[in-house]
Amino acid sequence: MASTEGLVPITRAFLASYYDKYPFPPLSGDVSRLYSDMASLIQLLALQSPPSQASLIEEANREPPHKIDENMWKNREQMEEILFLLQPSRWPVQLREDDAELSSTLRHVKDNFDKALTAMISFQTKNSERIFSTVMTYMPQDFRGTLIRQQKERSERNRQAEVDALVSSGGTIRDTYALLWKQQMERRRQLAQLGSATGVYKTLVKYLVGVPQVLLDFIRQINDDDGPMEEQRERYGPHLYNLTKMVTAIRVSLTLLWERYDTFKLNKNQMNLLSEAVIVYTSEFERFITFISDVFANSPFFISADTAGTLGSRENEEYKEIIVQAGRTYEDIGFCVEYISASGEMTLILPYHRYEADQGNFSTLMAGNYKLVWDNSYSSFFRKTLRYKVDCIPPVVEPTN
């Protein structure tokens, strides 16, 4: 069991500093160009489509989700939908019988998506395993750790059985992915509830199950809307959002084309557009997940309180003002920041730091207003529960003879 002594959960300020080392090389300019061309093709196909396809066309114009993992699931869903359409048995009859050139193009398209989907599944599986493995390093390496593993395996078997039952009953790909995302959100809610445990349940979680307090703090606040992961969304989200829009456009255009193949056939330029869009999307998507997988693999869950305090004071402008009463001078004025839980347990957020006087080389610090700059990356709830402490040490007065 790895020690958590002196550690606090990663902060947004830390992730900002960490991500500075991992700038993502921008997507190819072909992504925006081809997406625009695909959007024009969808508009053309929409003129031929019945009103029943209005919701599909609306989907092509919808903005992607904000969360990184939700976009990952959305990309995987669209790939599955495309591969379903590309099964020869799903092709329009005329396409199977008369259009050898497009048939050849579609087989190459399918090969590209088969490869991209395999990479997507591998990424999600490895990322999930890495997170669980990291969490387990902070758990007791005895029967309690075994119980946690068994519980996780049982929960995942139950979730898979739920998916299998849906598919067996005729559920669509869309239905399946709606369920998969619901299950993902259930995992998050369970973690958040675990992190917010109080009273007897909290005692059981901490001492019977063996979950360290710092891990409870981490899982409670990591996915806050203004928490650490927002930095990830701002840095890397826009690239992924563009890929989500592009794969959605490919899937919508193929669906509309299959619906209207009897009255609308792709010309040579349109076939080339479809082929190029697929090649660019799949290569850029694989490049993105390879990159982001490396970033995730090296990102820690916890950092030292010293690091959290240093980054927070350097990179954020929010501060707490404390007035030191006038009337005397002090040898030392310093601050620390603590988090006090509902049960009275204290977690050090910012260790004691002496306030350096900005008054030449004076050996004493004057009373007045002092501003403690602190880390602004915690959730609003967490910030409200922080306690600021100020210590004012008067100078030692030597006794007179």
DSSP state of 137: T
The answer for residues whose C-beta is within 8 angstroms of residue 354's C-beta and 6 or more apart is: 332, 333, 334
Taking only Cα atoms into account, the Rg of the chain, rounded to an integer number of angstroms, comes to 28
Residue 155 φ then ψ, to 5°: -60, -45
Res 363: pLDDT: 35
User: CA dihedral defined by 300, 305, 311, 312, rounded to 10 degrees?
Assistant: 120
- pLDDT value of position 169: 94
Beta strands at 7-9 and 319-330: parallel, antiparallel or unpaired: unpaired
Distance between CA atoms of residues 265 and 268, nearest Å: 10
Question: pLDDT tens digit string along 189-236?
Answer: 766 665 555 554 455 455 545 566 666 666 666 666 677 788 889 999
Distance separating the N- and C-terminal Cα atoms of the chain: 59
Extents of the domains making up the chain = 14-138+212-300, 306-393
pLDDT one-digit tens code per residue, 45-82: 888 766 566 777 888 888 999 999 999 999 999 999 99
User: What is the residue-wise DSSP string for 29-78?
Assistant: HHHHHHHHHHHHHHHHHHTTS-GGGHHHHHHHHSPPPSSHHHHHHHHHHH
Contacts of 148 (CB under 8 A, 6+ apart): 136, 139, 209
- Residues 190, 331: Cα–Cα separation, whole Å: 49
d(CA 127, CA 177): 19
CA dihedral 30, 282, 237, 229 (to 10 degrees): -160
What residues form DSSP beta bridges with 390?
A: 335
pTM of the model: 0.70
Reading the chain (401 residues) residue by residue, the pLDDT tens digits are 556 666 667 777 888 888 899 999 999 999 999 999 999 999 888 887 665 667 778 888 889 999 999 999 999 999 999 999 999 888 888 777 777 788 888 889 999 999 999 999 999 999 888 877 877 776 767 666 677 778 788 888 999 999 999 999 999 999 999 999 999 888 777 666 655 555 544 554 555 455 666 666 666 666 666 777 888 899 999 999 999 999 999 999 999 888 887 777 778 888 899 999 999 999 999 999 999 999 888 887 766 666 665 555 444 444 455 555 554 555 566 666 666 665 666 666 666 666 554 433 333 444 555 544 444 444 444 444 455 555 555 544 444 43
pLDDT at 98: 73
Per the listing, tokens 């959007």 go with 39
Q: What is the pLDDT of residue 46?
A: 83
Give Cα separations from 240 to 21, 50, 60, 63 (angstroms): 19, 31, 16, 12
pLDDT for the residue numbered 136: 75
> What's the Cα-to-Cα distance from 76 to each of 115, 304, 315, rounded to whole Å?
12, 37, 36
